[in-house]
Amino acid sequence: MNKYGLHGKLQATAGNGEQLAQILLEASRLVSNAKGCQLYLVSLDQNTPDGVWVTEVWDSKDDHDNSLQVPGVRELIGQAMPLLAGSPQKGQVLEVLGGAGLK
């Protein structure tokens, strides 16, 4: 069975990339036990200052959408939004076929 994946970059305002990454890492801890969460990976962009990449793998799009209801997630979104340099760009939606580390 294929999985639902998202891969996208968030650009923080100057000097706020690390803070944004820390908020996203906290979000990853909150959703780590959410139904269908296979992977929530936060990475700093080595070529773009204050760029943060998020890669997610879920059993389904519904599981991803429902993760927004996990207690604390909306509060973290509220903390992250002022750190962004503009509106978040739509990330890539992926059909994840499998790979090392996925169940």
CATH number, domain of 59, equals: 3.30.70.100
pLDDT for 87 equals 82
In a domain, 102, yes or no: no
pLDDT band at 102 (very low <50, low <70, confident <90, very high): confident
CA-closest candidate to residue 9, choices 76, 54, 64, 50 = 54
* Domain span holding position 60: 3-96
Write out the two tokens for 95.
């059909």
CA-closest candidate to residue 84, choices 53, 51, 56, 55 = 51
pLDDT for 101 equals 85
Q: Using CA atoms, how far apart are residues 29 and 24, in angstroms rounded to an integer?
A: 9
| Host H or E run for residue 31 | helix 17-31
Write out the two tokens for 89.
């760009």
Write out the two tokens for 75.
């509060």
> What SS3 class is residue 58?
strand
Residues 1-33: tens digit of each pLDDT = 699 999 999 999 999 999 999 999 999 999 999
Residues 58-94: tens digit of each pLDDT = 999 999 999 999 999 999 999 999 999 988 878 999 9
pLDDT for 88 equals 82
Beta strand pairing status for 3-11 and 37-44?
unpaired
The total number of structural domains that make up the chain: 1
In a domain, 103, yes or no: no
